[in-house]
Structure 1
Amino acid sequence: MRILLVTDAWEPQVNGVVRTLSRTVEECRAMGHEVEVIHPGLGFKTFPLPTYPEIKMAVGARKDLEARFKAFEPEAIHIATEGSLGQAARAICLKWKLPFTTSYHTKFPEYVNARLPFIPISAGYWFMRRFHNSGNRLMVATPSMRDMLTERGFNNITPWARGVDTELFHPDKRHMGGESVYEGLQGPIFVYIGRVAVEKNIESFLDLDLPGTKVIVGPGPQLEELKKKYPEVVFTGNKSGDELARHFADADVMVFPSFTDTFGLVILESMATGTPVAAYVANGPKDIIPGSKAGSVNDDLKTACLEALEMKREDCRAYAEKYSWRSCAEEFVQNLKPQPRPERRRFWRRLRRLGRRG
Structure 2
Amino acid sequence: MKILIVTDAWRPQINGVVRTLERLAQELQQQGVTVDFLTPLEFRTLPCPTYPEIRLALTRRETIRRRIETSRPDYIHIATEGPLGLMARKVAIETYGGYTTSYHTRFPEYLSARLPVPERWAYAWLRRFHNGGLTCMVATETLRQDLTARGFRNLAIWSRGVDQHLFHPRAENVLAHLPKPIFMNVGRVAVEKNLEAFLDLDLPGSKVVVGDGPMLTPLAKKYPDAHFLGAKTGEELAQVYAAADVFVFPSVTDTFGNVLIEALASGVPVAAFPVMGPLDIIGDSGAGVLSQDLRAAALAALDISREAALAQARQFTWERSARQFITNVTSAARRPLAAE
TM bucket by the smaller chain?
over 0.9
Following superposition of structure 1 onto structure 2, how do residues 190-201 of structure 1 map, counting pairs within 5 Å? 190-201=183-194
For residues 131 and 330 of structure 1, the distance between their equivalents in structure 2, rounded to whole angstroms, comes to 25
Identity rate of aligned residues, in percent? 51
For residues 113 and 181 of structure 1, the distance between their equivalents in structure 2, rounded to whole angstroms, comes to 38
**Counterpart residue number, 2:82:** 83
Following superposition of structure 1 onto structure 2, how do residues 131-150 of structure 1 map, counting pairs within 5 Å? 131-150=129-148
CA contact (8 A) 2:105 2:254 kept: yes
**What is the TM-score normalised by the length of structure 1?**
0.90
**Counterpart residue number, 1:41:** 41
Deviation of residue 330 (structure 1)? Answer: 0.8
Deviation string 1:59-100 (CA, Å, 9 cap, x unpaired) is 223222101221222211100000110011112123336221
Letter in 1 for 2:24: T
SS in 2 for 1:96: helix
For residues 204 and 143 of structure 1, the distance between their equivalents in structure 2, rounded to whole angstroms, comes to 26
Following superposition of structure 1 onto structure 2, how do residues 153-192 of structure 1 map, counting pairs within 5 Å? 153-171=151-169, 173=170, 175-176=171-172, 180-192=173-185
SS in 2 for 1:77: strand
Q: 1:286 to 1:64 in 2, by over 3 A?
A: same
**What is the TM-score normalised by the length of structure 2?**
0.95
Following superposition of structure 1 onto structure 2, how do residues 230-245 of structure 1 map, counting pairs within 5 Å? 230-245=223-238
For residues 183 and 266 of structure 2, the distance between their equivalents in structure 1, rounded to whole angstroms, comes to 15
For residues 11 and 336 of structure 1, the distance between their equivalents in structure 2, rounded to whole angstroms, comes to 24
Deviation of residue 331 (structure 1)? Answer: 0.5
Match of 1:280 among 268, 273, 292: 273
Runs of 4+ residues deviating >4 angstroms: 337-340
Deviation of residue 55 (structure 1)? Answer: 1.8
For residues 98 and 38 of structure 1, the distance between their equivalents in structure 2, rounded to whole angstroms, comes to 19
For residues 135 and 161 of structure 1, the distance between their equivalents in structure 2, rounded to whole angstroms, comes to 19
Deviation of residue 238 (structure 1)? Answer: 1.2
For residues 119 and 224 of structure 2, the distance between their equivalents in structure 1, rounded to whole angstroms, comes to 33
Deviation string 1:241-284 (CA, Å, 9 cap, x unpaired) is 11111111011001111111100000000000101111111111
**Counterpart residue number, 1:314:** 307
Aligned residues: 333
SS in 1 for 2:45: strand
Structure 1: any 5+ residue segments left out of the alignment? Answer: 341-358
Q: 1:123 to 1:335 in 2, by over 3 A?
A: same
Deviation of residue 52 (structure 1)? Answer: 2.3
Letter in 1 for 2:25: V
Following superposition of structure 1 onto structure 2, how do residues 260-271 of structure 1 map, counting pairs within 5 Å? 260-271=253-264
Following superposition of structure 1 onto structure 2, how do residues 270-349 of structure 1 map, counting pairs within 5 Å? 270-337=263-330
SS in 2 for 1:333: helix
The higher radius of gyration belongs to 1
Deviation of residue 230 (structure 1)? Answer: 0.9
Letter in 2 for 1:126: A
CA contact (8 A) 1:256 1:278 kept: yes
Deviation of residue 210 (structure 1)? Answer: 1.1
Following superposition of structure 1 onto structure 2, how do residues 23-172 of structure 1 map, counting pairs within 5 Å? 23-42=23-42, 44-96=43-95, 98-116=97-115, 118-171=116-169
SS in 1 for 2:40: coil
C-alpha RMSD over aligned residues: 1.3
Deviation of residue 313 (structure 1)? Answer: 0.3
For residues 51 and 186 of structure 1, the distance between their equivalents in structure 2, rounded to whole angstroms, comes to 36
Deviation of residue 194 (structure 1)? Answer: 0.7
Deviation of residue 54 (structure 1)? Answer: 2.3
CA contact (8 A) 1:61 1:85 kept: no
SS in 2 for 1:336: helix
SS in 2 for 1:305: helix
CA contact (8 A) 2:93 2:99 kept: no
For residues 217 and 60 of structure 2, the distance between their equivalents in structure 1, rounded to whole angstroms, comes to 35
CA contact (8 A) 1:10 1:40 kept: yes
Deviation of residue 27 (structure 1)? Answer: 0.9
For residues 114 and 237 of structure 2, the distance between their equivalents in structure 1, rounded to whole angstroms, comes to 28
For residues 296 and 81 of structure 2, the distance between their equivalents in structure 1, rounded to whole angstroms, comes to 37
SS in 1 for 2:53: strand
Deviation string 1:134-186 (CA, Å, 9 cap, x unpaired) is 00101000010000000000000010010000010011x2x42xxx2223322
CA contact (8 A) 2:7 2:39 kept: yes
Deviation of residue 339 (structure 1)? Answer: 5.1
